[in-house]
Chains A and B, each alone.
Chain A
Amino acid sequence: MAKKKRPAKAAPRPAAAAPSLFETLWSRRKFDILGKKQKGEGRRIGELRSRGIEKRKKTILREYKLRHKSNAFVDRRFGENDEEMSEDEKAIVRFQRERLAQLQRKSKFALPDAEEEEEEEGDLLTHKGAALSMLDDFNEDVSGDDEEELPQVAEAQKELNFGGGFTDADPARKEKRSKKEIMEEVIAKSKHFKAVKAKEKEDDLDLREKLDSDFKVLAETPALLSLMRPKKINTLKALLAKGSIKNDKASDADTEKEKPDDYDKLMKEMAFEIRAQASERLKTSEEIAKEEKERLEELEKKRIQRMTGAQESDSEADEDDGGSKRKKKRKRAEISGDDLGENFVLEEEYQEKGWVDEVMARTEAENPDASDTDNEENGDDDDEEDTDFDEAVQGEDSGTSGSEESTREELIEEVKSTLRKEDESDDKDIEESRELPFVINAPQTLEQLLGLVKHRSTEELGVAIQRIRACNAISLAAENRKKMQVFYNVLVLYISDLAGAKPLPLDRINMLTKPLIEMSLETPYYAAACARERLIRMQQVLSDKLRSKDGDESSCWPSVRTLLLMRLWSLIFPGSDFRHVVMTPLVLLLGEYLMRCPVTSGRDVGVGAFLCSLALSIMKHARRFFPEALSFLLVLLSTGLPDSSAARKTGPQFLRELVGSRPWLLLKDDNSDKSFCDLDFPELVAADGDLDIFDTDSFRCGILNASIQTLKGFVTIYNDLPSSPEILREFVPVLLELSSSKLLPKSLKASIIDTLELIHKTVEELEKFRQPLQLRLKKPTPIKQFNPKFEEDFAKGRDYDIDRDRAERKKLRRQIQREAKGAARELRKDNQFLAAEKLKERAEAEQEREDKYKKAMAFLEEQEAAAKSGQLGRKKKRRR
Chain B
Amino acid sequence: MKVEEVRALGSALLVSRANVNNCSTLLSIVSAFCKRGAGSSSSVECVLEAVRCLQAFFLPILSSQGVLGKPQSDGDGSETAEAIYRAWLKNKFEELIELLIAIVVGTEEHRLENAALDSLMELLQAKDCRVDNGIYFKLCLALTRKSSENVFDALATEHCKDATLCFYTVKNFEKLVSARLQTSQRGVDATLSSDDDKSVSVDTFTRNVYGVISRLSPSVQEILSTNKKITENALDKEFTINRFKSKVRNLWLNFLQLPLPLDVYKMVLANMSKVVFSIISNPIRLSDFLTKSYDLGGVYSVLALDSLHILMTKYGLEYPEFYERLYALLDPSMFFTKYRSRFFELLDSCLRSPLLPAYLAAAFAKKLSRLSLHASPAGSLVVIAMVHNLLRRHPSINCLVHQSSRLRVASKGEEDVSDAKLGRDPYLANEKTSNCRALESSLWEIETLRRHYCPAVSRFVSTLEADLTVKRKTTEVQISDFCSGSYSTIFNEETKRRLKQVPLAYYKVVPNALFSNNEEFAGWSFPKEKKLKVM
Which residues of A are in contact with B by a Cβ distance under 8 Å?
395, 399, 408, 433, 454-458, 503, 505-507, 509-510, 513-514, 517-518, 520-521, 524-525, 527-529, 532, 535-536, 539, 543, 564, 567-568, 571-575, 577-582, 584-585, 587-589, 591-592, 595-596, 609-610, 613-614, 616-617, 619-620, 623-628, 631, 651-655, 677-682, 702, 705-710, 712-713, 721-727, 764, 766-777
CB distance from A452 to the nearest CB of B (A): 14
Report which residue of B467, B504, B525 has the largest number of chain A beta carbons within 10 angstroms of its beta carbon. B504
A–B complex contacts, Cβ < 8 Å, 18 sampled: A503-B529, A507-B529, A513-B513, A514-B511, A514-B512, A532-B495, A536-B495, A579-B494, A584-B494, A591-B376, A592-B376, A625-B449, A706-B524, A722-B445, A724-B448, A726-B444, A771-B422, A772-B406
Residue on A nearest B333 in the bound complex, by CB: A654
How many A-B contacts are there with CB distance less than 8 Å? 264
Do A628 and B376 touch across chains, with their CB atoms under 8 A apart?
yes
- B65 proximal to A (CB < 8 A): no
**Which B residues are CB-close (under 8 A) to A510?**
512-516
Do B444 and A773 touch across chains, with their CB atoms under 8 A apart?
yes
**Which A residues are CB-close (under 8 A) to B71?**
none
**Which B residues are CB-close (under 8 A) to A628?**
376
Cα distance A545–B424 when bound, in Å? 43
Q: Which DSSP category, helix, strand, loop or mixed, fits chain A's interface?
A: helix
Instruction: Determine which of B332, B464, B491, B522 lies in contact with A652 in the assembled complex, contact meaning CB atoms within 8 Å.
Output: B332
Do A681 and B515 touch across chains, with their CB atoms under 8 A apart?
yes
Do B336 and A768 touch across chains, with their CB atoms under 8 A apart?
no
CB distance from A776 to the nearest CB of B (A): 4
Residue on A nearest B458 in the bound complex, by CB: A578
Known A527-B502, A773-B401: A625·B445 in contact at CB below 8 Å? no
Do B532 and A457 touch across chains, with their CB atoms under 8 A apart?
yes
**Which A residues are CB-close (under 8 A) to B465?**
775-776
Known A654-B336, A773-B442, A776-B402: A517·B511 in contact at CB below 8 Å? yes
Residue on A nearest B441 in the bound complex, by CB: A772
Do B423 and A713 touch across chains, with their CB atoms under 8 A apart?
no
CB distance from B453 to the nearest CB of A (A): 4
Do B490 and A579 touch across chains, with their CB atoms under 8 A apart?
no
Cα distance A626–B458 when bound, in Å? 12
Add 8 more A-B contacts to A543-B488, A595-B336 (CB < 8 A). A574-B506, A588-B454, A613-B523, A625-B452, A679-B523, A721-B451, A774-B404, A776-B401
Do A581 and B373 touch across chains, with their CB atoms under 8 A apart?
no
**Which A residues are CB-close (under 8 A) to B336?**
595-596, 654
**Which B residues are CB-close (under 8 A) to A457?**
532, 535
**Interface membership of chain B positions 453-472, coded 1 if the CB is closer than 8 angstroms to chain A and 0 otherwise:** 11100100000110100000
Do B522 and A506 touch across chains, with their CB atoms under 8 A apart?
no
- B421 proximal to A (CB < 8 A): yes
Do A506 and B487 touch across chains, with their CB atoms under 8 A apart?
no
Do A517 and B447 touch across chains, with their CB atoms under 8 A apart?
no
Known A564-B514, A584-B455: A709·B423 in contact at CB below 8 Å? no
**Which A residues are CB-close (under 8 A) to B377?**
588, 591
Cα distance A677–B465 when bound, in Å? 49
Cα distance A581–B494 when bound, in Å? 7
CB distance from B257 to the nearest CB of A (A): 30
Do A613 and B524 touch across chains, with their CB atoms under 8 A apart?
yes
Instruction: Determine which of B404, B443, B455, B511 lies in contact with A571 in the assembled complex, contact meaning CB atoms within 8 Å.
Output: B511
Residue on A nearest B457 in the bound complex, by CB: A625
Known A591-B487, A678-B523: A580·B505 in contact at CB below 8 Å? no
Do A721 and B448 touch across chains, with their CB atoms under 8 A apart?
yes
Residue on A nearest B375 in the bound complex, by CB: A627
**Which A residues are CB-close (under 8 A) to B380?**
627
Residue on A nearest B453 in the bound complex, by CB: A624
Residue on A nearest B334 in the bound complex, by CB: A654
Known A572-B504, A623-B451, A625-B449: A723·B444 in contact at CB below 8 Å? yes
**Which A residues are CB-close (under 8 A) to B2?**
none
**Which B residues are CB-close (under 8 A) to A705?**
523
Do A772 and B403 touch across chains, with their CB atoms under 8 A apart?
yes
**Which B residues are CB-close (under 8 A) to A609?**
523
Residue on B nearest A592 in the bound complex, by CB: B487
Do A722 and B444 touch across chains, with their CB atoms under 8 A apart?
yes
Do A770 and B453 touch across chains, with their CB atoms under 8 A apart?
no
Report which residue of B401, B443, B444, B516 has the largest number of chain A beta carbons within 10 angstroms of its beta carbon. B444
**Which B residues are CB-close (under 8 A) to A543?**
488
**Which B residues are CB-close (under 8 A) to A595?**
336, 376, 487
CB distance from A705 to the nearest CB of B (A): 5
Do B502 and A581 touch across chains, with their CB atoms under 8 A apart?
yes
- B262 proximal to A (CB < 8 A): no
Instruction: Determine which of A573, A584, A770 lies in contact with B504 in the assembled complex, contact meaning CB atoms within 8 Å.
Output: A573
